Structure 1
Amino acid sequence: MNIAITRKSERRRAEIIDAAIRHFNRSGLNGATLGGIAASVGMVTNGVAYYYRRKEDLAAACMIQSLAELVDIIGQAVAVDDPALRLERLLAAWFARLADGVTGKATPVMVFNDIRALTPPQSNEVFPEYYRLFRVLRGIFNGTSIGGDPVARNARTHLLLSILHAAQEWFVAQCEARDHARVAARLALILKSGLGGVAPQIMLSLPDPDPDADPMRVAYLRAATRLINQHGYRGTSVERIAGELNLTKGSFYHHIDAKDDLVTACFERTFAVLRQAQDLGFESSGNGAERLATTVGALLGWQLSEAGPMLRISAYNSLPESIRPTIRHAGDRLVERFAWQISDAQADGSMPVRDAIIGARVLHSMLNAVIELEWWVSERGQARALPHYTLALFSGLFAPLAGED
């Protein structure tokens, strides 16, 4: 009897986790509700609360399950001797798993956009598992020329992890599930060999996209962008934003109508910066590769300046569902502009032929990863870590820095 009850309880938990992952991936931690999750499995809210008292408890359980699965996928890949083959097998397995989530063969993998929104006690359970994932993924670089350099290894592992996370969204939204092997192979070529071309030089001269804007409003947007990137939308209160500027909550509402309006404004500002840098590249002299390097250098300079950073793509889940598609579509158009720049460089022979749209997504992932540099490396160390991101993008994940091979 007890065994039957236990099995029924386990099945119920599995049903709830499956439904919850779908809800969290669609609506984010902020938008999903226990009531909505319960209704999708034919339960009342109290029925779900019997297993998971709070929404955050359920989100943590979903993340832990997906983290364990991803660690298993990576662990099998890193067991291979050849680094390039490790990478190929990892990507093949990852996209096959994403495809299974799309077709219904398996529960989708939890998107980790809201991981920074977790606080104790849930964060105490999830964060160690996420750090374990990072440590296992570093095994991709075992036996390579950068395997013994902690900064290089951590930077490139971080970039690879950012690419894997971003792929959860663009593959599911924009690719046919049956093409998972093709997508994995095309991405593998880019990550093994790089996009080619020339490494960008960091520029610090990209002006503010809206020089006539109210300076106090701009200051709020900068502060909010940094806090949302670091703590997520739920972890970024109006009081916290105002406190960053040593101002009052009342001052915030004098310049910003509502918190939901703020995250939309942060995205609009980020998109304006992207357009400005892309236009700078399109209009600059030189071949296609040099023009792309101009764009990337300008964006890296913005990210690392006092004016930056841009808003991370993980903030999409912070948006109200009613406007999220519009903002996502605007972001996708800007990724396509990166693809045009890559195609221009391939057409004039200054970059080798690679999948331009996947290359553009990898480039976008790199820009997002750079935002997080300040969280895990000192200001002095950032100067040493940054070249590993750009070198990995243009020359491949395993390429050594000049003089370090």
Structure 2
Amino acid sequence: MSKPASTRKFDEKREAIIHAASVLINDVGVQATTLAEVARAIGLNATSVTYYFPRKEQLVVAVYDETLDLMEQMAAEALAQPDPAARLRHFIASHVALRKRIRGGERGLTTALSEIRTLDPEPYDTLMAHYLRVVELVRRFFGEWRDNAERTLFSARAHILLEAMMWWPIWSLRYSVRDFGRIEERLFDVLAYGLPAKRGRFEPRELAGEWRTGGGGNAGQNEAFLRAATVMINRLGYRGASVNRIAESLNVTKGSFYHHHQAKDDLVLACFKQSYDRMSAAQIAGLELEADYWTRLSSVLAELVDLQFFDSTPLLRTTALQALEADHKSDVVTRSNRLAQRFAGMLIDGIADGSVRAIDPLIAGQMMMSTVNSAYDARHWAARFDDPRDATRIYLSALSEGLLADPR
């Protein structure tokens, strides 16, 4: 039976409010999104919005829930395909098609999930349970696992694939919609079969450089602020990492913070700069190795993923991007793209020397960036390994042999 007209009207207006909030959150972040701004975007007054969502957090949760519903639907449709290759291809195609619809003018279809961790514990736990249902569907893309080792591998594959699809909207801006069909094919190729000419080859070498956290607790106060802020933003998001919390974690006053940084955004930008400086230093160290280019690349990747898994100062997650002002956000994305382009250049040289197979280096460079970026959130996964090198090797098998490699 069809819904009564009053119920349909209620649902339509509620949906319009959620879509308007989704657009604002994507544009300016959760903190800058207000009920009044949402109301203004759809020609209502604030009182009308509070009839549907008495508190802003309720609206934010509804926005995230709708995006997770869409992700769950896309994952379920992909899982219904007959084999792992078809599932991976379908999943990538659905994300490319979604971005094409957004480019065509549809708004409010999906919201970046980067600020979920800033919510209060109860809504956060509910949304994370929803996200884990999506992870479970994606993990099953690769077949039924026969033991814990295969389940661990499939978990890493699911994590990397989901992060790659969530990073795709950022770098897709550099391409015309007319190129999306080709990108879809090349993206599948990179994720399915990996990068080296000899599939599964992974022999990283140790790199020499100063990007590790020093021991002995002799860091200067500004370095300590950067370390504390990076860890806290990675854990709690931009909004959750308040100046008070950062200062308290170091047992110093807020005045000490403002002695080094005029505002919180300045600290976040300093954290990004430090992280990208460290990534760049590792890349340069890899370039200086006397080896073929896949060995150089795999050495850099192993070093950066190990930093994310085990170093006390990890690299800053790009989840902090969403809350930054547009100018600052653009600067950070530009720096990230430069690092991805350096990876692409190394891949081109690897294709030339025969150590890397013929793939699209620009797309593969972005996959390398998202894989390193997302590794921080796999720290709990990595902690189960007795040998840290096994964690790095298995995680990076997504790039050294591809997501469709036989786990045996």
TM-score, normalised relative to structure 2 = 0.89
* Alignment-mate amino acid for residue 229 of structure 2: A
CA distance in 1, matches of 2:245, 2:400: 38
CA distance in 2, matches of 1:73, 1:97: 10
CA distance in 1, matches of 2:380, 2:394: 16
Cα offsets for 1:302-336 (capped at 9, x unmatched): 33454531111121113223422122212212211
CA distance in 2, matches of 1:232, 1:70: 21
CA distance in 2, matches of 1:29, 1:110: 11
CA distance in 2, matches of 1:37, 1:284: 54
Instruction: Assess, with a 3 A threshold, how the Cα gap between structure 1 residues 284 and 11 changes in structure 2: closer, same or farther.
Output: same
Match of 2:242 in 1: 237
Deviation at 1:252, TM superposition (A): 2.7
Cα offsets for 1:34-67 (capped at 9, x unmatched): 2222211112223222212233222211111111
Match of 2:187 in 1: 187
CA distance in 2, matches of 1:146, 1:100: 40
CA distance in 1, matches of 2:76, 2:403: 18
Q: Is the 8 A contact 1:204 1:305 kept in 2?
A: no
Instruction: Assess, with a 3 A threshold, how the Cα gap between structure 1 residues 201 and 290 changes in structure 2: closer, same or farther.
Output: closer
Match of 1:226 in 2: 231
1:393 maps onto 2:396 in alignment: no
Match of 2:257 in 1: 252
Deviation at 1:169, TM superposition (A): 2.4
Deviation at 1:200, TM superposition (A): 5.2
Match of 2:48 in 1: 47
CA distance in 2, matches of 1:16, 1:298: 45
1:284 maps onto 2:285 in alignment: no
User: Any stretches of 5+ residues in structure 2 without a counterpart?
Assistant: none
SS in 1 for 2:113: coil
CA distance in 2, matches of 1:195, 1:311: 25
Instruction: Assess, with a 3 A threshold, how the Cα gap between structure 1 residues 335 and 146 changes in structure 2: closer, same or farther.
Output: farther
User: Any stretches of 5+ residues in structure 1 without a counterpart?
Assistant: none
Deviation at 1:298, TM superposition (A): 3.0
Cα offsets for 1:334-369 (capped at 9, x unmatched): 211111111111122211111111101111111012
Greater mean alpha carbon deviation, residues 357-366 or residues 248-257? 248-257
Greater mean alpha carbon deviation, residues 381-390 or residues 184-193? 381-390
1:300 maps onto 2:301 in alignment: no
Identity rate, percent: 32
Instruction: Assess, with a 3 A threshold, how the Cα gap between structure 1 residues 69 and 324 changes in structure 2: closer, same or farther.
Output: same
Q: Give the alignment's Cα RMSD to 1 decimal.
A: 2.6
Match of 1:126 in 2: 127
TM-score, normalised relative to structure 1 = 0.90
Cα offsets for 1:121-161 (capped at 9, x unmatched): 42243222111111111111114788972211211111111
Instruction: Assess, with a 3 A threshold, how the Cα gap between structure 1 residues 146 and 187 changes in structure 2: closer, same or farther.
Output: farther
Q: Is the 8 A contact 2:309 2:382 kept in 1?
A: no
Greater mean alpha carbon deviation, residues 290-299 or residues 140-149? 140-149
Q: Is the 8 A contact 1:275 1:334 kept in 2?
A: yes
The match for 2:209 among 206, 211, 215 is: 206
1:97 maps onto 2:98 in alignment: yes
Instruction: Assess, with a 3 A threshold, how the Cα gap between structure 1 residues 66 and 178 changes in structure 2: closer, same or farther.
Output: farther
Instruction: Assess, with a 3 A threshold, how the Cα gap between structure 1 residues 146 and 170 changes in structure 2: closer, same or farther.
Output: farther
Cα offsets for 1:193-216 (capped at 9, x unmatched): 1011542537475304999x9722
CA distance in 2, matches of 1:144, 1:180: 33
CA distance in 2, matches of 1:206, 1:329: 24
Greater mean alpha carbon deviation, residues 141-150 or residues 306-315? 141-150
